[in-house]
Protein backbone atom coordinates (compact mmCIF):
# COMPACT_ATOMS: atom_id res chain seq x y z
CA UNK A 1 0.00 0.00 0.00
CA UNK A 2 1.23 3.48 -0.84
CA UNK A 3 1.28 5.79 2.18
CA UNK A 4 0.18 9.31 1.27
CA UNK A 5 0.82 12.42 3.35
CA UNK A 6 -1.06 15.48 2.15
CA UNK A 7 -1.94 18.94 3.41
CA UNK A 8 -5.59 19.71 2.83
CA UNK A 9 -7.25 23.12 2.67
CA UNK A 10 -8.35 22.50 6.27
CA UNK A 11 -4.68 22.21 7.29
CA UNK A 12 -4.79 18.46 8.06
CA UNK A 13 -2.10 15.85 7.58
CA UNK A 14 -3.93 12.64 6.62
CA UNK A 15 -2.64 9.11 7.05
CA UNK A 16 -5.37 7.03 5.32
CA UNK A 17 -4.47 3.56 6.56
CA UNK A 18 -5.03 4.47 10.24
CA UNK A 19 -7.38 7.43 9.72
CA UNK A 20 -4.96 9.43 11.90
CA UNK A 21 -5.21 13.20 11.66
CA UNK A 22 -2.78 15.85 12.82
CA UNK A 23 -3.94 19.37 12.13
CA UNK A 24 -1.59 22.32 12.05
CA UNK A 25 -3.29 23.90 15.05
CA UNK A 26 -2.38 20.95 17.28
CA UNK A 27 1.23 21.13 16.08
CA UNK A 28 1.25 24.89 16.68
CA UNK A 29 -0.04 24.42 20.23
CA UNK A 30 2.49 21.68 20.96
CA UNK A 31 5.40 23.81 19.69
CA UNK A 32 4.20 26.80 21.70
CA UNK A 33 4.28 24.73 24.90
CA UNK A 34 7.86 23.66 24.20
CA UNK A 35 9.00 27.16 23.26
CA UNK A 36 7.30 28.99 26.14
CA UNK A 37 7.83 26.35 28.80
CA UNK A 38 4.25 25.76 30.00
CA UNK A 39 0.64 25.29 28.92
CA UNK A 40 -0.28 28.59 30.50
CA UNK A 41 2.41 30.58 28.68
CA UNK A 42 1.57 28.83 25.41
CA UNK A 43 -2.10 29.70 25.78
CA UNK A 44 -1.22 33.35 26.40
CA UNK A 45 1.07 33.52 23.36
CA UNK A 46 -1.58 31.99 21.07
CA UNK A 47 -4.50 33.93 22.62
CA UNK A 48 -6.24 30.66 23.47
CA UNK A 49 -7.58 29.23 26.71
CA UNK A 50 -5.40 26.79 28.61
CA UNK A 51 -7.99 23.96 28.37
CA UNK A 52 -8.10 24.46 24.59
CA UNK A 53 -4.31 24.10 24.38
CA UNK A 54 -4.40 20.97 26.56
CA UNK A 55 -7.13 19.45 24.39
CA UNK A 56 -5.14 20.05 21.21
CA UNK A 57 -2.03 18.36 22.60
CA UNK A 58 -4.00 15.46 24.07
CA UNK A 59 -5.63 14.94 20.68
CA UNK A 60 -2.22 14.98 19.01
CA UNK A 61 -0.87 12.38 21.44
CA UNK A 62 -3.94 10.20 20.88
CA UNK A 63 -3.56 10.45 17.11
CA UNK A 64 0.12 9.52 17.27
CA UNK A 65 -0.33 6.83 19.87
CA UNK A 66 2.44 8.09 22.12
CA UNK A 67 3.12 10.56 24.93
CA UNK A 68 4.95 13.71 23.81
CA UNK A 69 5.21 15.60 27.08
CA UNK A 70 6.40 14.20 30.41
CA UNK A 71 4.04 16.21 32.66
CA UNK A 72 5.72 15.07 35.87
CA UNK A 73 9.19 16.34 34.93
CA UNK A 74 8.02 19.10 32.55
CA UNK A 75 10.14 17.75 29.70
CA UNK A 76 9.85 16.19 26.25
CA UNK A 77 9.78 12.44 25.76
CA UNK A 78 12.02 11.00 23.01
CA UNK A 79 8.95 10.91 20.74
CA UNK A 80 8.18 14.50 21.73
CA UNK A 81 11.66 15.67 20.70
CA UNK A 82 11.24 14.05 17.28
CA UNK A 83 7.75 15.48 16.73
CA UNK A 84 8.85 18.93 17.91
CA UNK A 85 11.72 19.04 15.40
CA UNK A 86 9.48 17.95 12.52
CA UNK A 87 6.55 20.13 13.61
CA UNK A 88 8.75 23.23 13.55
CA UNK A 89 9.79 22.40 9.99
CA UNK A 90 6.16 21.91 8.94
CA UNK A 91 4.94 25.15 10.52
CA UNK A 92 7.83 27.18 9.14
CA UNK A 93 7.31 25.69 5.68
CA UNK A 94 3.63 26.66 5.89
CA UNK A 95 4.56 30.27 6.68
CA UNK A 96 6.99 30.29 3.75
CA UNK A 97 4.32 28.88 1.44
CA UNK A 98 1.92 31.68 2.38
CA UNK A 99 4.62 34.26 1.59
CA UNK A 100 5.37 32.65 -1.77
CA UNK A 101 1.70 32.70 -2.71
CA UNK A 102 1.42 36.36 -1.69
CA UNK A 103 4.45 37.19 -3.84
CA UNK A 104 3.09 35.14 -6.75
CA UNK A 105 -0.26 36.93 -6.79
CA UNK A 106 0.87 40.25 -5.25
CA UNK A 107 -2.20 40.12 -3.08
CA UNK A 108 -3.23 41.29 0.32
CA UNK A 109 -1.45 43.34 2.95
CA UNK A 110 1.73 41.54 3.89
CA UNK A 111 3.34 41.74 7.30
CA UNK A 112 7.01 41.61 8.30
CA UNK A 113 7.86 40.86 11.92
CA UNK A 114 11.09 42.60 12.94
CA UNK A 115 12.83 42.33 16.29
CA UNK A 116 15.40 44.74 17.70
CA UNK A 117 16.40 46.64 20.83
CA UNK A 118 14.85 49.90 22.04
CA UNK A 119 18.10 51.64 21.13
CA UNK A 120 18.10 50.44 17.53
CA UNK A 121 14.40 51.24 17.20
CA UNK A 122 15.04 54.81 18.36
CA UNK A 123 18.33 55.69 16.68
CA UNK A 124 18.94 53.40 13.72
CA UNK A 125 15.64 52.27 12.23
CA UNK A 126 13.52 55.42 11.68
CA UNK A 127 15.12 56.58 8.41
CA UNK A 128 15.25 53.01 7.10
CA UNK A 129 11.60 52.35 7.97
CA UNK A 130 10.64 55.59 6.24
CA UNK A 131 12.42 54.46 3.06
CA UNK A 132 10.80 51.02 3.27
CA UNK A 133 7.24 52.33 3.72
CA UNK A 134 7.67 54.45 0.60
CA UNK A 135 8.76 51.36 -1.35
CA UNK A 136 6.09 49.03 0.13
CA UNK A 137 3.19 51.20 1.34
CA UNK A 138 0.85 48.21 1.77
CA UNK A 139 3.19 46.09 3.88
CA UNK A 140 2.71 46.32 7.64
CA UNK A 141 5.70 46.14 9.97
CA UNK A 142 5.44 44.60 13.43
CA UNK A 143 8.29 45.83 15.62
CA UNK A 144 9.19 43.75 18.69
CA UNK A 145 11.65 45.24 21.20
CA UNK A 146 13.77 42.73 23.14
CA UNK A 147 17.41 42.00 23.96
CA UNK A 148 19.64 40.57 21.20
CA UNK A 149 19.56 37.04 22.65
CA UNK A 150 15.77 37.10 23.03
CA UNK A 151 15.37 38.35 19.45
CA UNK A 152 17.66 35.58 18.18
CA UNK A 153 15.52 32.96 19.93
CA UNK A 154 12.33 34.37 18.38
CA UNK A 155 13.88 34.39 14.90
CA UNK A 156 15.10 30.82 15.38
CA UNK A 157 11.60 29.72 16.44
CA UNK A 158 10.04 31.38 13.39
CA UNK A 159 8.12 33.96 15.44
CA UNK A 160 10.09 36.80 13.82
CA UNK A 161 11.14 37.17 10.19
CA UNK A 162 14.15 39.39 10.82
CA UNK A 163 16.23 40.48 13.78
CA UNK A 164 18.59 43.44 14.14
CA UNK A 165 20.96 42.49 16.92
CA UNK A 166 24.47 42.63 18.32
CA UNK A 167 26.74 40.12 16.56
CA UNK A 168 27.97 37.46 16.66
CA UNK A 169 25.12 35.13 17.61
CA UNK A 170 27.05 31.96 16.72
CA UNK A 171 23.88 30.00 15.95
CA UNK A 172 23.95 27.40 13.16
CA UNK A 173 20.24 27.96 12.48
CA UNK A 174 20.69 31.68 11.81
CA UNK A 175 22.20 33.57 8.91
CA UNK A 176 24.06 36.75 9.92
CA UNK A 177 24.60 39.85 7.76
CA UNK A 178 26.71 42.70 9.23
CA UNK A 179 25.13 46.16 8.99
CA UNK A 180 27.23 48.62 10.99
CA UNK A 181 29.79 49.06 13.73
CA UNK A 182 29.30 51.19 16.84
CA UNK A 183 32.27 52.84 18.53
CA UNK A 184 32.12 53.27 22.30
CA UNK A 185 33.36 56.36 24.15
CA UNK A 186 33.57 57.56 27.74
CA UNK A 187 30.64 59.89 28.49
CA UNK A 188 30.57 62.39 31.35
CA UNK A 189 28.40 65.35 32.45
CA UNK A 190 29.21 68.69 30.83
CA UNK A 191 32.20 70.36 32.49
CA UNK A 192 33.56 67.18 34.10
CA UNK A 193 37.30 67.55 34.95
CA UNK A 194 38.24 64.44 32.94
CA UNK A 195 37.12 66.21 29.76
CA UNK A 196 40.20 68.46 30.08
CA UNK A 197 42.62 65.54 30.48
CA UNK A 198 44.71 64.91 27.39
CA UNK A 199 45.13 61.17 27.91
CA UNK A 200 42.93 58.97 30.06
CA UNK A 201 43.43 55.33 30.99
CA UNK A 202 41.54 52.90 33.23
CA UNK A 203 43.70 53.79 36.23
CA UNK A 204 42.31 57.35 36.11
CA UNK A 205 38.75 55.97 36.44
CA UNK A 206 39.15 53.83 39.55
CA UNK A 207 37.57 56.39 41.92
CA UNK A 208 34.82 57.52 39.52
CA UNK A 209 31.18 56.42 39.95
CA UNK A 210 29.84 54.54 36.92
CA UNK A 211 26.46 53.85 35.34
CA UNK A 212 26.81 50.71 33.24
CA UNK A 213 24.72 48.71 30.83
CA UNK A 214 23.38 45.49 32.34
CA UNK A 215 26.00 42.72 32.04
CA UNK A 216 23.30 40.36 30.70
CA UNK A 217 23.11 42.43 27.49
CA UNK A 218 25.58 41.78 24.68
CA UNK A 219 27.19 45.23 24.94
CA UNK A 220 27.32 44.99 28.73
CA UNK A 221 29.08 41.63 28.57
CA UNK A 222 31.60 42.96 26.02
CA UNK A 223 32.42 45.85 28.36
CA UNK A 224 32.87 43.48 31.30
CA UNK A 225 35.32 41.38 29.25
CA UNK A 226 37.21 44.56 28.37
CA UNK A 227 37.38 45.58 32.05
CA UNK A 228 38.72 42.15 33.01
CA UNK A 229 41.37 42.36 30.30
CA UNK A 230 42.62 45.67 31.75
CA UNK A 231 42.23 44.54 35.39
CA UNK A 232 39.71 47.34 35.98
CA UNK A 233 36.89 47.09 38.53
CA UNK A 234 34.50 50.03 38.08
CA UNK A 235 32.72 51.59 41.04
CA UNK A 236 29.17 50.91 39.82
CA UNK A 237 26.33 52.98 41.28
CA UNK A 238 23.68 51.95 38.75
CA UNK A 239 23.05 49.11 36.28
CA UNK A 240 20.41 49.52 33.58
CA UNK A 241 19.30 47.78 30.41
CA UNK A 242 18.52 51.12 28.75
CA UNK A 243 20.96 53.55 27.14
CA UNK A 244 18.34 56.28 27.51
CA UNK A 245 18.14 55.79 31.27
CA UNK A 246 21.92 55.85 31.55
CA UNK A 247 22.21 59.04 29.48
CA UNK A 248 19.66 60.80 31.67
CA UNK A 249 21.50 59.93 34.88
CA UNK A 250 24.86 60.94 33.42
CA UNK A 251 23.36 64.33 32.50
CA UNK A 252 22.22 64.66 36.12
CA UNK A 253 25.81 64.14 37.30
CA UNK A 254 25.28 60.75 38.94
CA UNK A 255 28.34 59.23 37.27
CA UNK A 256 30.18 58.33 34.06
CA UNK A 257 29.40 55.69 31.46
CA UNK A 258 30.57 54.05 28.26
CA UNK A 259 28.09 54.60 25.42
CA UNK A 260 28.03 54.22 21.61
CA UNK A 261 28.95 57.54 20.01
CA UNK A 262 26.15 57.09 17.45
CA UNK A 263 23.55 57.39 20.22
CA UNK A 264 24.61 60.92 21.11
CA UNK A 265 23.07 63.80 19.15
CA UNK A 266 22.41 67.54 19.41
CA UNK A 267 19.93 66.92 22.23
CA UNK A 268 22.80 65.56 24.33
CA UNK A 269 24.76 68.82 24.53
CA UNK A 270 24.80 68.44 28.33
CA UNK A 271 27.17 65.49 27.92
CA UNK A 272 30.92 65.36 27.34
CA UNK A 273 32.12 62.70 24.88
CA UNK A 274 35.67 61.69 25.81
CA UNK A 275 37.65 59.46 23.40
CA UNK A 276 38.98 56.43 25.27
CA UNK A 277 41.43 53.91 23.75
CA UNK A 278 40.98 50.18 24.10
CA UNK A 279 37.18 49.99 24.14
CA UNK A 280 35.47 47.21 22.13
CA UNK A 281 33.64 47.90 18.87
CA UNK A 282 30.01 46.77 18.77
CA UNK A 283 28.97 44.92 15.60
CA UNK A 284 25.29 45.26 14.63
CA UNK A 285 23.76 42.95 12.05
CA UNK A 286 20.63 41.36 10.66
CA UNK A 287 19.72 37.75 11.38
CA UNK A 288 17.21 35.41 9.76
CA UNK A 289 16.64 31.67 9.67
CA UNK A 290 18.66 29.57 7.24
CA UNK A 291 16.41 28.16 4.53
CA UNK A 292 13.41 30.37 5.31
CA UNK A 293 11.63 31.84 2.30
CA UNK A 294 12.33 35.55 1.98
CA UNK A 295 9.49 37.58 0.51
CA UNK A 296 10.08 40.47 -1.89
CA UNK A 297 9.18 42.93 0.87
CA UNK A 298 11.67 41.32 3.27
CA UNK A 299 14.39 41.45 0.60
CA UNK A 300 13.67 45.14 0.05
CA UNK A 301 13.86 45.90 3.76
CA UNK A 302 17.17 44.07 4.11
CA UNK A 303 18.65 45.89 1.11
CA UNK A 304 17.59 49.24 2.58
CA UNK A 305 19.18 48.34 5.92
CA UNK A 306 22.44 47.42 4.17
CA UNK A 307 22.54 50.41 1.82
CA UNK A 308 21.75 53.21 4.28
CA UNK A 309 24.34 52.57 6.96
Per-residue model confidence as pLDDT tens digits over 262-287: 888 766 788 999 989 889 999 999 99
Per-residue model confidence as pLDDT tens digits over 172-231: 889 999 999 999 999 999 999 998 887 889 999 999 999 999 988 888 999 999 999 999
CATH of the domain at 198: 3.40.190.290
Residue 162 CB contacts under 8 Å (≥ 6 apart), including other chains: 112, 113, 114, 115, 155, 286, 287, 288, 298, 301, 302
- Look up the domain containing 46 and give its range: 12-104
Please determine, for residue 19, whether its predicted confidence score (pLDDT) is greater than 60: no
pLDDT above 70 coverage of the chain, percent: 90
Cα angle 300, 301, 305; round to 5: 115
Same domain (yes/no): 226, 149: no
Is 44 inside any structural domain?
yes
Is 6 inside any structural domain?
no
Domain total in the chain: 3
- The Cα–Cα gap between 159 and 163 comes to 11
Per-residue model confidence as pLDDT tens digits over 128-175: 999 999 988 888 899 999 988 899 999 988 889 999 999 998 888 899
Q: 277: cis peptide before it, omega within 30°?
A: no
* C-alpha closest to that of 155 among 286, 48, 282: 286
Which band of pLDDT confidence, cut at 50, 70 and 90, is reported for residue 295? confident
| pTM of the model as a whole | 0.69
Same domain (yes/no): 24, 59: yes
Same domain (yes/no): 228, 260: yes
Q: Which residue has the higher pLDDT, 82 or 11?
A: 82
- The Cα–Cα gap between 253 and 259 comes to 15
Same domain (yes/no): 18, 79: yes
CATH of the domain at 37: 1.10.10.10
- The Cα–Cα gap between 276 and 288 comes to 34
Is 3 inside any structural domain?
no
Residue 141 pairs with which residues in a beta bridge?
Answer: 112
Same domain (yes/no): 144, 27: no
Most confident of 95-99, 251-255, 287-291: 251-255
Residue 166 pairs with which residues in a beta bridge?
Answer: 284
Same domain (yes/no): 46, 191: no
Q: Please give the pLDDT value at position 308.
A: 59
* C-alpha closest to that of 55 among 66, 39, 37, 76: 39
The torsion angles phi and psi of 77, rounded to 5 degrees, stand at: -80, 170
Same domain (yes/no): 141, 255: no
Q: Please give the pLDDT value at position 291.
A: 82
- The Cα–Cα gap between 75 and 34 comes to 8
Same domain (yes/no): 154, 88: no
Amino acid sequence: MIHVISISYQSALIFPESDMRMNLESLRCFCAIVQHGSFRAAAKSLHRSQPAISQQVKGLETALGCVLLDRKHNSLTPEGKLIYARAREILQATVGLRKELDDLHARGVQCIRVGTSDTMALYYLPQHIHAFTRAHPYTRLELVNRSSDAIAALVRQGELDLGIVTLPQDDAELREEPLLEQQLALVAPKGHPLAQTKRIDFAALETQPFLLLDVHTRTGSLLQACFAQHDFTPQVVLDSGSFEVIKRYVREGVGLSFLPVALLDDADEALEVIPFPGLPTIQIGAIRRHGAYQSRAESTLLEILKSQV
